[in-house]
Structure 1
Amino acid sequence: MTKLYIKNMVCNRCKMVVGNVMASLGLSVSHMELGEVTIEEPLEDKKHKLKEELEQLGFELIDDKKSRVIEKVKNLIIDLVHHNGAALQTNLSDYLSAELHQDYAGISNLFSEVEGITIEKYLIAQKIEKVKELLIYDELSLSEIAWQLNYSSVAYLSSQFKKVTGMTPSHFKSLQGNRRKPLDKVG
């Protein structure tokens, strides 16, 4: 068994694409989640080809431990915000510590040092991107969006939205042609 860490693998479509690359190289995937793939066989002879093919698709194999931790933090937050809205009520520091089996202070310091922003700011950026998506879909009211993303109030969501984007949610919604950032570029 070989565990691989892959940068920019942030959604189910990414998992499908990476799975297809693995299959095309004859690699048997035993487990896959955002940012991580476990294959049955050793990778040695196919590593260069895998790296090449992944890079052509915007992914990257991660070899060093610091980068793996950072990518795991990002993927956990993306998954939490964009795919598991109900889980947003958990304490982020406890959640990350439990998932990574590390002290939160160490994770937080490493993330800030490498990324140049705090984990909290990264979380806020992801939440604002989710708010934008939900505003564009126009299926939920602002109060429903605030509740779904665990904001204490619509006013707090609006204030944070304006601080990050420079406009109110209603102004954002009224603009035509809004383009969301790809999830791996948020932050």
Structure 2
Amino acid sequence: MKLYVKYMVSHRCKMMVKVELKKLGIEYVVVDLGVIEILEDITSTQFEQLKVNLKKSGLELLDDKQSILVESIKNVIIEMIHYSDEQPKVSYSDFISQKLEYDYTYLANVFSEVKGITIQQFIILIKIEKVKELLLYDELSLTEIAYKLHYSSVAHLSNQFKKITGLTPTFYKGIANKRRGNLEDV
């Protein structure tokens, strides 16, 4: 049996879910981003208690098909951009479609209807978050970041970054470094 969890986007979230499952005596096979696979069906009482416990941690147990599908799309995108060193060899749309085994047009329509933005817009937002993270780590140049995230050029990355954040990547990095410097002075 599979259960789907909203807002489960990090390894820390996975650890919290595992703790909650253990508290309730629910044996699981896999706890992955947005998905829990358990060995056997759980009672409605266990389901409701898990729902309440996860809600306290900022997570949400999903039970309607559209929400589950949207979370699956989001998790594939987040995993693809944040946790994979290799970008897919096919287009994002083909990758998502293959991974979830649905027609991309159907996925795109459901996603837009539920989230109010397109899958492509969501991918851009997630990529910009990754750019911010990489800028803060200060280990890669802007050129290397553009290459790593499959931007056609540094200019394309910079334009998209400015459109989303209102700042240039260089200015953002400067603010972050200044803020970090101020914290070190404390």
State the TM-score, normalized to the length of structure 1.
0.91
**Which fold has the larger relative contact order, with Cα–Cα distance below 8 Å and residues 6 or more apart in sequence?**
1
Query: Equivalent residue for 2:137?
Result: 137
After superposition, give the CA deviation of every residue in 1:8-47 in whole Å (9 maximum; x if it has no partner): 1111111111011101111111122111101112211311
Aligned residue pairs, count: 177
After superposition, give the CA deviation of every residue in 1:136-172 in whole Å (9 maximum; x if it has no partner): 1111100010111011111111111111111110011
Mean CA deviation greater in 59-68 or 36-45: 36-45
Distance in structure 1 (CA, Å) of the matches to 2:130 and 2:12: 17
Distance in structure 2 (CA, Å) of the matches to 1:90 and 1:83: 17
RMSD of the alignment, in Å?
Answer: 1.3
Query: Equivalent residue for 2:59?
Result: 59
Alpha carbons 1:10, 1:75 under 8 Å: kept = yes
**Paired residue secondary structure (2:86):** helix
Query: Equivalent residue for 1:41?
Result: 40
Distance in structure 2 (CA, Å) of the matches to 1:88 and 1:98: 11
Structure 1: state its 5+ residue gaps. Answer: 179-187
Distance in structure 2 (CA, Å) of the matches to 1:48 and 1:67: 18
Query: Equivalent residue for 1:183?
Result: none
Alpha carbons 2:87, 2:149 under 8 Å: kept = no
Distance in structure 2 (CA, Å) of the matches to 1:120 and 1:168: 21
Structure 2: state its 5+ residue gaps. Answer: 181-186
After superposition, give the CA deviation of every residue in 1:26-75 in whole Å (9 maximum; x if it has no partner): 11111221111011122113111111100000111100110000000000
Which stretches of structure 1, 4 residues or longer, exceed 4 Å deviation after superposition?
Answer: none
Query: Equivalent residue for 2:97?
Result: 97
The aligned amino acid for 2:157 is: L
